[in-house]
């Protein structure tokens, strides 16, 4: 995207303002609403509201999604495993699966967004810190015991293209000996929407300036999780196959 294009600059400014207003108004509404519902209903309220917020975010960025496969609710612990290619992965998966994300630690320090993410139950990890990784495994295990859905990107970071790097084992270790399901997802984007910039802010700035974004998501069937030693490569191969299908859908 040409940075001197006045239309692109105006589009980026309008979307940035719209997302900021959406975060502020949605989070404010949620905090107020929680005061008048019982503690038992708050988690469901948060999940419904978060999914609506993420769907609205996709609309603001003019994201068109081609989907194959069902994102059905689950009444037991579940791990959603996906490749990670864009900042849009968060609203894309979060608008389809009611659950909590495992996210990079620095997000928790972002103004307002970090506060909202913490309130919604986001789990944070600094992959360069051994203690943080161990804490994230413990937090994921607690969530899975509570029959929550945990959404992870086990490559650990974003990469351009469709090649899938080795998976980190943390989420699978967290599920050891628990009655947990695993559900694999493959996503594919137009090259312009992929995260290749040095900072997340620069990436979002680029995506906000795009006229529109097309992406595809293919959702596999849930299955019982296996042993931690086997699952990283098993799920990686499943995601590879789903990404190929997503790319084919996008290229039609």
Residue 188 CB-density burial (10 A; 0-12 exposed, 13-18 middle, 19+ buried): buried
Q: Which residue in the block uniquely carries the two structure tokens 């084919």?
A: 248
The predicted structure's pLDDT at residue 185: 98
Q: Higher confidence at residue 71 or residue 108?
A: 71
The Cα 126–Cα 132 span in angstroms is: 6
Q: What is the mean pLDDT of the chain?
A: 91
Q: Residue 1 domain-assigned?
A: no
The pLDDT of residue 2 is above 60: no
With beta carbons less than 8 A apart as the criterion, state whether 212 and 64 touch: yes
Confidence band of 161 (pLDDT split at 50, 70, 90) = confident
What is the token pair recorded at 140?
């994921």
Q: Which residue in the block uniquely carries the two structure tokens 């039609």?
A: 252
Angle at CA 144, nearest 5°, toward 114 and 221? 100
The DSSP string of 8-56 is: HHHHHHHHHHHHHHHHHHHHHHHHHHHTTS-HHHHHHHHHHHHHHHHHH
Number of domains the chain contains: 1
88-102, 112-126, 232-246: least confident range: 112-126
Q: Which residue in the block uniquely carries the two structure tokens 């795009």?
A: 210
CATH of the domain at 141: 3.40.1130
46-60, 88-102, 120-134, 202-216: least confident range: 120-134
Q: At what angle do helices 200-209 and 6-34 cross, to 10 degrees?
A: 110
Q: Residue 49 domain-assigned?
A: yes
Structural domain range at position 121: 6-250
Please give the backbone phi and psi of residue 38, each rounded to the nearest 5 degrees, phi first: -70, 160
70 in helix, strand or coil? coil
Q: Residue 137 domain-assigned?
A: yes
Q: Residue 162 domain-assigned?
A: yes
The DSSP string of 84-95 is: ---TTHHHHHHT
How far, rounded to the nearest angstrom, does the alpha carbon of residue 182 sit from its chain's CA centroid?
15
Percent of the chain predicted with pLDDT > 70: 98
With beta carbons less than 8 A apart as the criterion, state whether 100 and 83 touch: no
Q: Residue 15 domain-assigned?
A: yes
Query: How far is CA 54 from each of CA 51, 93, 135, rounded to the nearest angstrom?
Result: 5, 9, 27
The DSSP string of 225-247 is: ---TTTHHHHHHHHHHHHHHHHH
The pLDDT of residue 4 is above 80: no
The pLDDT of residue 51 is above 80: yes
Q: Residue 105 domain-assigned?
A: yes
Confidence band of 1 (pLDDT split at 50, 70, 90) = very low
Mean pLDDT in residue range 43-62: 92
């Amino acid at each position: 995207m040409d940075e001197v294009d006045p239309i692109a600059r105006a589009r980026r400014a309008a979307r940035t303002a719209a997302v900021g207003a959406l975060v502020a108004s949605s989070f404010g509404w949620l905090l107020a609403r929680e005061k008048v519902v019982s503690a038992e209903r708050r988690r469901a309220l948060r999940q419904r509201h978060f999914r609506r917020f993420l769907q609205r975010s996709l609309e603001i960025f003019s994201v068109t999604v081609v989907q194959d496969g069902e994102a059905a609710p689950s009444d037991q612990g579940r791990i959603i495993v996906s490749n990670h290619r864009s900042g849009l992965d968060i609203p894309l998966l979060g608008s389809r699966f009611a659950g909590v994300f495992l996210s990079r630690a620095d997000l928790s320090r972002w103004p307002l967004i970090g506060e909202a993410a913490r309130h919604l139950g986001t789990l944070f990890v600094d992959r360069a810190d051994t203690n943080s990784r161990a804490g994230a495994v413990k937090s994921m295990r607690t969530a899975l015991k509570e029959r929550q859905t945990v959404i992870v990107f086990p490559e650990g970071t974003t990469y351009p293209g469709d090649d899938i790097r080795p998976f980190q084992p943390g989420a699978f270790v967290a599920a050891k000996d628990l009655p947990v399901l695993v559900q694999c997802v493959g996503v594919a984007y137009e090259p312009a929407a992929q995260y290749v910039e040095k900072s997340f802010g620069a990436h979002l700035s680029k995506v906000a300036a795009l006229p529109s974004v097309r992406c595809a998501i293919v959702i596999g069937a849930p299955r019982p999780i296996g042993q931690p030693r086997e699952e990283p490569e098993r799920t990686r191969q499943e995601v590879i196959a789903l990404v190929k299908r997503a790319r084919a859908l996008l290229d039609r």
